[in-house]
Structure 1
Amino acid sequence: MASSYYTNTLHVSFESVLAMDNPCMVSMFIALAASGLQGFLDCPAVIYEAALIDFFENALVRDDVVISTVAGKLVEISEELLAETFELPVEGFTDLSKIPKDLVFDARSIVSLTSEPVSMSGKKKEMKIEFRLLCDIMAKTISVKAGSFDAITQEKFLMIAGITCGVQVNWNKILFNILKDMVTDETRQARGFAIQISLLLENIPNLELAEFSSSKILTEKTVHRYIILNEKVGGEDVTDAPRVKRTPVKRVVSKKRPAAVDTEAAPIVKNKRTTKR
C-alpha cells in the first residue's frame, strides 16, 4: 500500500516554526535550515499516491541513476537532478563517520537533557525536547530506516551532530545513496521521500497525477503539541511511571444450575422388599 511510503513523513514549514516563541526550538530549526536541508524538507507538501506505487514497483538503479516507469512514462532521477531540485549541498563529508570525534562528543553534551553526555545507543528521551524532534525528523524523513523511532542509532546521531555543530555535509550524496537503497531489495531499506519524489514526478511531461495532500506538517501549532506531549512523559521510562488504577469491572453472575449428581460417587440405596407368606 502506498500509505506505508508516507505514514511517518514529517514535512517542515520553516516559515511557521521559525516564528515560534521558543528560543531553543527556533535555534534547532535555524541550525537545520543552515545545514542545507531546508529545500528538501520544506518543498510543497503534496503526495501522488498512485504514482508512488508505480515508481517503487518498477524502480531500479542503472549506471548510478534511479530509473522507473510511472503510468508507462520513463522516470530518471540522477544525483545532479536531486541537488538542483532541492538546492542541496554537494560539498563536505559523504561519510558521517568521518566527523571529528571531538565534535561528536560536544554534540552528545549539547543535546543531553542532563549534564551527562547521551549514549549513541540509548533512547531519545535522554535528549532535550528540541533534539528529540530533530531525531524524529532524521529518522522519519531523512534516513528512512525501519525500526524503533525512540532508539538513538549511530547514523541518526551523527546526522544530528553534523547539524548541531555546523559541520559541512554533502547531503546530496547521502540522500541520493539512501534513495538508491530504497529501490534495491537487498538493502531492506524502508521506502520514503514521498513528498520529494512526488515533486520530481511533476516535471515528467504528459504524466497525469492524482493529487493527495500530506497532513503531517510541522508548524508552530504541531510543534507546541509535540512539546506538551513530551513534557507529560517527562523523559521517564514507562516502568518508572505510576501505574494507573483500573476501575473494577462488574461481572454479570449467571444463576447456577443444580449440580448434577455423580452416580458413581454416591451409591444408590435400595429399599428392601417384604413379601407376605
Structure 2
Amino acid sequence: MTSSLFTNSLHVCFDSVLAMDNPGMVSMFEALMASGLSGFLGCPAVLYEDALTEFFLNGSVWDGKVVSTIREKQVEISDELFASTFELPVDGLTDLSKIPKDIVFDERSIFSFSGEQVSTFGKKREMKFEFRLLSDILAKTISVKAGSFDAVTQERFLMMAAITCGVAINWNRLLFNIRKDMVTAGSRQAKGYAIQISLLLENVSNLELGDSSEFPSSKILTKNTVHRYIAVNDKVGVEEVTDVPRVKKTPVKKAVSRKRPAAVDEPIVKKKWTRVGKAAAIATDLVLRQYPFKLLHQFLLCPLLPQNIKFKRGGEG
C-alpha cells in the first residue's frame, strides 16, 4: 500500500529547474513559486513508509482535524498546522469557478501548442510542454488523481489558469480538504501526500516513526528530469501522429452479370408454341398471317355462320 502513496507523485527541486535554459519552463516554475505552492511541492523529500501505512489505516476526520493513531500514539493534524508547515496561502478564492472568465479565455490560447484555443477539458498533448508538466504536477501531487493523466479536467485547467495569471487562491483550504477526503470512509479520493505527511509526523514529539527511505530520484523534477520529460513528450507527440493506422479502402466488388452466358457451340433451339397465355396469342396471330383467311374460314367459322356472307381481308367491314 505504501508505494501506491507516491507511485505517481512528483516533487520539485526549484533551485535546479529555475536554472534551466528553457524560458517557458522557468516561467512556469516561477509562477508556481509565486502562487505559494513551493513550500508544499519542494519540502524536504523524506518517507516513513511503516508510519504512513498506520496513519492511513487508522485515519479519520474529527472536529475538522485529521486524526490517526501510530504505534498507540494519537496524532492530530489541523489546517493551521498544515498551513504553517508548508507556508501555504490562507487567503484568496476557494471556489475555482470564480476565476474571471476573460482570464480563462486568454489562457486557452496561451496554453495551446498549435496556437488554436484548447478546450478547458481537452487533451494534454494539445498544450505546450511546460503546461503539460504543470498539468501533471497538479494532477499527481496536488489533486492526487488516479488513472490516466492524458486528459485535462476543467478543475485542473482552472488551477493552471490561476497559477499562471497570478490569481490568489486559498491553497491551504483546498489542499487540506483533499487531505481530509483521503481518510474519509467511502471517499473516492486517492491517497497521497506521502512526503508532506511524513514531514508532519516527523515534527510530532515522542513519536517513533521507524526507518526512513528516500523518495525515488526519478520522480524529483530537476533540470535533467525535466529535459528528459520534454524529450519523451516530444517523441510521444510524433508517434501519436505516425502511429495512426491508415484506413484501408474497402475493395469494391465488380457487379457480376446474372445473365446465363451463351455457349459458343450450342445450337439455337426454337421455342415451342403453347396454347396458353401470351405465347399462345402470339402463335395464333402468326397463324392468321401465314394462312389465307378463306381457308381458316372453312375450318373455324363455316359451321357457325351462313355461307352467303363474304369476309373482307384485314378486318374490313
After TM superposition, is the score higher than 0.5? yes
Q: What residue in structure 2 maps to residue 262 of structure 1?
A: none
3-state SS, counterpart of residue 147 of structure 2: coil
Matched, 1:62 2:62: yes
Q: For residues 53-103 of structure 1, give each alpha carbon's deviation from its aligned partner in whole angstroms, at most 9, with x where no partner exists.
A: 001011111111110011111111111001100000000001111111111
| 8 A Cα contact 1:49 1:212, kept in partner | yes
Q: Is the 8 A contact 2:47 2:195 kept in 1?
A: yes
Q: Which letter does structure 2 place at the counterpart of 1:222?
A: T
Mapping 1:70-85, distance limit 5 Å: 70-85=70-85
Residues 10-64 of structure 1, C-alpha deviations (whole Å, 9 max, x = no match): 0000000001111110000000110000000000011111111001011111111
Kept in 2, the 8 Å contact 1:65–1:79? The answer is yes
Q: How do 1:230-249 and structure 2 match up within 5 A?
A: 230-234=233-237, 237=240, 240-241=243-244
Bigger Cα displacement from structure 2, 60-69 vs 204-213 = 204-213
The one-letter amino acid of 2:227's match is H
> Which protein shows a greater Rg?
2
Contact 2:121/2:151, CA 8 A, preserved across alignment: yes
The separation in 2 between residues aligned to 1:151 and 1:41, in whole angstroms, is 22
Distance verdict in 2 for CA 1:238–1:114, change over 3 Å: closer
Q: How far apart, CA to CA, are the structure 1 residues paired with 2:139 and 2:119?
A: 17
- Give deviations 1:197-218, integer Å, cap 9, x for gaps: 0000001122222201101210
The reply on whether 1:227 has 2:216 as its aligned counterpart is: no
Q: 1:117, CA displacement in angstroms?
A: 1.4
Distance 2:157 2:46 in 1: 29
How many residue pairs match? The answer is: 243
1:121 to partner: Cα distance: 2.1
Check whether the contact 1:125–1:235 (CA below 8 A) recurs between aligned residues.
no
Query: In the alignment, what sits opposite 1:49?
Result: 49
CA distance in 1, matches of 2:107, 2:72: 47
**Structure 1: tracts of 5 or more residues without a match:** 244-277
Whole-angstrom CA distance in 2 between matches of 1:240 and 1:157:
28
Tell which deviates more after alignment, 52-61 or 113-122: 113-122
**Paired residues of 2:135 and 2:160 also in contact (CA < 8 A):** yes
Residue 67 to residue 235, structure 1, CA distance change in 2 (3 Å): farther
Partner secondary structure for residue 16 of structure 2: helix
Question: Contact (CA 8 Å) 1:54, 1:70: kept in 2 or not?
Answer: yes
CA distance 1:73–1:235, shift in 2 (3 Å): farther
| Structure showing greater relative contact order (alpha-carbon pairs closer than 8 Å, 6 or more residues apart) | 1
1:181 matched to 2:184: no
CA separation in 2, counterparts of 1:147 and 1:61? 26
For 1:235 and 1:17, locate their aligned partners in 2 and report how far apart those are by CA, in whole Å. Answer: 25
2-side partners of 1:226 and 1:11: how far apart?
14
Residue 151 of structure 2 corresponds to 151
TM-score normalised to the size of structure 2? 0.74
CA contact (8 A) 2:121 2:157 kept: no
User: Quick one: which amino acid aligns to residue 126 of structure 2?
Assistant: E
Q: Percent of aligned pairs with the same residue?
A: 70
2:81, 2:143 → 1: CA distance?
A: 19
Distance 1:159 1:235, change over 3 A: farther
Judge conservation of contact 1:2–1:52 (CA < 8 Å) in 2.
yes
- Runs of 4+ residues deviating >6 angstroms: none
Q: Which residue of 1 aligns with 2:101?
A: 101
Structure 2 distance, partners of 1:162, 1:231, is 26
State the shift of 1:186 in Å.
2.3
- SS of the residue aligned with 2:37? helix
Which one-letter code corresponds to 1:211 in the other structure? Answer: S
User: What displacement does 1:120 show?
Assistant: 1.9
Paired position in structure 1 for 2:214: 213
Rounded to whole Å, the distance in 1 between the matches of 2:238 and 2:105 is 22
Q: Deviations over 1:98-118 (max 9, x none)?
A: 111111111111111112111
Q: Report the counterpart of residue 191 of structure 1 in structure 2.
A: 191
SS in 1 for 2:159: helix
Residue segments in structure 2 that go unaligned for 5+ positions in a row: 247-317
Q: After alignment, is 187-196 or 107-116 more displaced?
A: 107-116
Provide the rounded CA distance (Å) in 2 between the counterparts of 1:96 and 1:224: 31
TM-score (norm 1): 0.85
